[in-house]
Amino acid sequence: MDLKSIKTLVQDHSVEQLLKWADELENTGVAPFKTQEDVNEQMSDYLQAAEIRAMIDAGKPMNDAIREFAQRVRGVLK
C-alpha cells in the first residue's frame, strides 16, 4: 500500500473515475493513470483509493478515512 500514490488518487479523482480505471486496467492490462510499475499494485491503488474516496464523500475527513482503512488492512494481515 503506497499511501503517497493513494492520497494523490483520492485528492484528484472521483470514486467513479477510479473504478472506471480499475475496469480498464483489468480489461486491457494498461493503466490509464500510472502510479506504480507493477500492474497488481496499480490495481490495488485504484481500488483502495476508491474505497477511501467513498468514505470522504460520505463526510469523513481524509486523514481519518486513510487511518481507518489502514487499520482494516492491518487487521486482515494479522
pLDDT in tens, 6-36: 999 999 999 999 999 999 999 998 888 888 8
- The per-residue pLDDT for 34 is 86
Q: How many residues does the chain have?
A: 78
* In contact, 36 and 70? CB cutoff 8 Å: no
Q: How many CB atoms lie within 10 A of CB 37?
A: 8
Question: What is the domain partition of the chain in residue ranges?
Answer: 3-77
50-77 pLDDT tens trace: 999 999 999 999 999 999 998 988 887 7
Q: What is the pTM of this model?
A: 0.88
Q: What amino acid occupies position 39?
A: V
pLDDT at 6: 92
